[in-house]
Amino acid sequence: MSDDQPISPTLPGHLIRRLHQLSTQIFAQRIKDAGSDLTPVQFAALDALAARPGIDQARLAEMIAKDRATIGGVVDRLEQKGLISREVSPEDKRARVVRLTPQGQATLSHLLPVVQELQRDILPGLSAAEYDQFLALVGKATRAAEAN
Amino acid sequence: MSDDQPISPTLPGHLIRRLHQLSTQIFAQRIKDAGSDLTPVQFAALDALAARPGIDQARLAEMIAKDRATIGGVVDRLEQKGLISREVSPEDKRARVVRLTPQGQATLSHLLPVVQELQRDILPGLSAAEYDQFLALVGKATRAAEAN
DNA sequence: GCATTTTAGTATGTATACATATCAAAACTC
DNA sequence: GAGTTTTGATATGTATACATACTAAAATGC
């Protein structure tokens, strides 16, 4: 017979995928309610550029853990929305330095509190102590994985 | 001034995204080492079909928490690889019932232990106790989120 | 200082992921 | 039981995500 229980849904990999999925859904909903349509990655890019204005795309990709191909598309779309500017680096003709436009800065300022706010709802049903515990464990695991 | 630290990387949403990313990278690497090129979603689909042979695509989508449009593509690719068969349901002409082919069954049997094995490496740097704790917390959070 | 290698960005192709629209079929309503 | 609504699947369009290949420019090695 072949009606054993599937094992996938109980595996860490699946649970992580599912949590990621729920997280992006909540993000999309709250950002939409706030009158915007930024994706999590686009928000992360704006946030990174606010901290390091004028870095190039490769540096930006590193900061938010994407590859160069992916960041190329993200930067394209942010530029089309008028939220960032892009120009050839004076020091390195291969590189494009990127920075927030005033509109990008305004958008980020508007959304920062919204994004802070929604984080708690990504992990519903956890007590404050469990929430902190979860964050500590995820942080530990990702740091260990990145150390390789 | 604008060189504050970015806040994104410290947020739960980002950590979850990063963990998901690391998880799929490890999955891809180990599956490749085992001589296959299945993705996490394709594996989950095979695993679900082994437990419920002959369900339709909508039911399959529910089981692994994808929407119908996404599952359509996944099923297309699995069919092209010869791992599943698809035919119109006798009871409902709209529905397509899906099941593993012998080759799909063999692939699943081959990969099941590999996938079991790699789970532990998705969360490196955690002790056994922390690992269990993490799983319990993720499970609790996803169940709570799905309850809405 | 020239040849080799590395790096920045883009282009291309595949695979999720999801919203929306459409078609056909089933379920429901009165 | 005809009309409405819901449902299963597909089609289309957008956005990651990543591998690979390519061009141009910079860094390096000897």
Cα–chain-centroid distance for residue A65? 9
Token pair for A106: 């305004």
- Residuewise pLDDT in 10s, chain B (148 residues): 546 788 888 889 999 999 999 999 999 999 999 999 999 999 999 999 999 999 999 999 999 999 999 999 999 999 999 999 999 999 999 999 999 999 999 999 999 999 999 999 999 889 999 999 999 999 999 888 877 6
Residue A129 pLDDT greater than 60, yes or no = yes
Helix (H, G, I), strand (E, B) or coil at A104: helix
Would an 8 Å CB–CB cutoff place B101 in contact with chain A? Answer: no
What pLDDT does residue A113 have? 96
CB-based contact, A123 to chain B, within 8 Å: yes
- The reply to whether A57 Cβ lies less than 7 angstroms from strand C is yes
Which residue on chain A is closest to B143 by alpha carbon?
A125
B37 CA to D12 C1' distance (Å): 27
CA distance A141 to A112: 26
Closest residue to C14 (CA, C1′) = B77
Structure tokens at B69: 């449009």
Tokens 């998901």, residue?
Answer: B20
Q: Which of residues 15-44 of A touch B (CB under 8 A)?
A: 15-24, 27, 40, 43-44
> Which residue of B138, B143, B146, B148 is the best one to mutate when testing the A interface, meaning the one whose CB has the most A CBs within 10 A?
B138
pLDDT the model gives residue B1: 52
pLDDT digits over A86-115, tens only? Answer: 999 999 999 999 999 999 999 999 999 999
Tell me the C-alpha distance between A92 and B86, whole Å: 54
At A69, the pLDDT band (50, 70, 90 cuts) reads very high
What does R_g of chain B's alpha carbons equal in angstroms? 18
pLDDT > 60? residue A30: yes
Cβ-based contacts of B114 with chain A (< 8 Å): none
Report the alpha-carbon distance of residue B40 to residue A17 in Å, rounded. Answer: 9
Specify the pLDDT at position A22: 93
Interface test with B, best of A8, A39, A47 (most B CBs within 10 A): A8
Least Cα separation, residue A60 to chain B (angstroms): 12
SS3 A95: coil
Distance from CA(B62) to C1'(D11), angstroms, rounded: 21
CB contact under 8 A, B143 and A137: no
Domains and CATH numbers, chain A: 12-146 (1.10.10.10)
With a pLDDT cut of 70, the percent of chain A lying above it is 97
Positions of chain D reached by protein Cβ under 7 A: 7-13, 15-21, 24-27
Residue B5 has a pLDDT of 84
Instruction: Give B-chain residues touching A5 at CB under 8 angstroms.
Output: 51
Test A138 with B7 for CB contact under 8 angstroms.
no
| Residue A94 touches partner B, C-beta closer than 8 Å | no
